[in-house]
Structure 1
Amino acid sequence: MKIKTIQITAGRGPVECCWVVAQVLKYLIEDIKKAKINYTLLQREHGTENRTLQSATIQLQGKELESFLIDWLGTIQWIGKSSFRKFHKRKNWFIGIYEIESKTTTAINENEVQYQAIRSSGPGGQHVNKVSSAIRATHKPTSIQVLVMDSRSQHQNKKIALKRLQEKIAEHNIAQLQSEIKNQWENHLNLQRSNPIRVFKGSDFKIQKKEKNYKSKRNQLKTDLRKQLK
């Protein structure tokens, strides 16, 4: 499975754009669920007003993420009247959705795990004290360790240790990624306000479908033909 991280951002936009980020996040999560893609909400930067977000970051895990994201990555436009500033004339607001490049690793190579058998401690009688059934597993690249003594079987403890180590490294990777997100402010600064990938309209935030205008194309062809005949 592939893993991708995306960020929804209002850029330097006003409070209305932060409101749009919060609305788009809801809409995007619904779409993610419909596509049966696993997701983790890594970060939400709240805006200055209630129910607004400066940015939100989501980690996606699935098989065909590229085909899903092709309809989401880019500029998002909302056409509507501001509810924060009654007499504001502007009706077009823009936010962006970008992919974040991460340097964190997403999987464990078992060759990078060092296992050490040690004697178990605690209840269990003489067998526990004399047999080295407990396992300490260390992930060498990160120095993350787990100690497992759940079973009297060394083999079983080794399997449990690997699983717990994977969970701890996943938590470590998310923490690292959250740190990277804070340093990637260029997405907030380079918001493009042209060729939106999606357009929403009105206070109910309905998606606006792109309608093909064949009439304008026909008129353009007629104009070009007249020029050629002159």
Structure 2
Amino acid sequence: MSNSTEVRLLITSGNGPGECQQAVAGVLQRMQDDADAAGLDLDASKTPTRHGLKSAVVVLHGAGAATFAARWCGSIQWRAKSTLRPHHKRANWFIGVFALKDAKTQGATIQPHEVTFESFRAGGPGGQHQNTTDSAVRATHRPTGLTATAREMRSQHRNKALAMERLHALMSAQAAADDEERKGDQNQLHNTLERGNPVRCFKGPAFREEGAGR
């Protein structure tokens, strides 16, 4: 499991209020930052709301993706005073991160003319072994706005093909999440979100990590 190079996750606010939706957006950004620091690529399909994100489907790529994901799976606590309801006494908000089943449902067919490619210089860790040319590629599916990146290949052509594969993987993961929701599986995840016993805890608008409350 720890050697898996592709992992699918669902970050969900459950049936929580707007503050939980803010927490999903903040946790997704923190996860993105941590993935960048770990040399992993993270692609996300977001379900936006007025206040943040109802949920997000995440696909992680890279060596050690499963080990990285395991540190996130479970209940996540966000300690912050509500900016939506300033006089509200509650200051603890819980969201959940769950592993999605391997996608058996294929996403919508992607037509090549619907995809825009952007090249950029690969970033992240790697030092002298990191690419120094604009060989990294970001693929954007214009009809949905979904994006996927690939940066580990030295050839821009190979990264372009890999980004397309990852775009398919992201759409497939979203289709699988939609399928689970239709079957009630995802609703069960939303409804069984454990509000307590968090695996990780973040504080304030900057989502600074602190010891998880028990």
Distance 1:7 1:191 in 2: 12
Deviation at 1:193, TM superposition (A): 1.3
The letter for the 2-side match of 1:23 is G
Structure 1: give runs of 5+ residues left out of the alignment: 107-162, 212-230
What SS does structure 2 have at the residue aligned with 1:48? coil
Structure 2: give runs of 5+ residues left out of the alignment: 107-158, 181-185
Contact 1:7 1:97 in 2 (8 A): yes
The letter for the 2-side match of 1:177 is A
Match of 2:199 among 175, 197, 200: 197
Deviation at 1:164, TM superposition (A): 9.6
Distance 1:170 1:92 in 2: 35
What SS does structure 1 have at the residue aligned with 2:39? coil
Question: Which runs of at least 4 in structure 1 moved beyond 4 Å after TM superposition?
Answer: 163-173
1:14 aligns with 2:6: no
Deviation at 1:39, TM superposition (A): 2.2
Question: Cα 1:171–1:29, aligned 2, differ >3 Å: closer, same or farther?
Answer: closer
What SS does structure 2 have at the residue aligned with 1:75? strand
The letter for the 1-side match of 2:60 is L
Contact 1:82 1:91 in 2 (8 A): yes
Task: Specify the alignment match of 1:64 in structure 2.
Answer: 64
Deviations 1:47-77 (A, max 9, x none): 233xx00111111112212321232111100
CA RMSD of aligned residues (A): 2.8
Deviations 1:21-57 (A, max 9, x none): 111111000000111012222x1001233xx001111
In proportion to residue count, which structure has more helix?
1
Contact 1:199 1:207 in 2 (8 A): yes
Question: What is the TM-score normalised by the length of structure 2?
Answer: 0.62
Distance 1:72 1:10 in 2: 14
Match of 1:3 among 3, 6, 10: 6
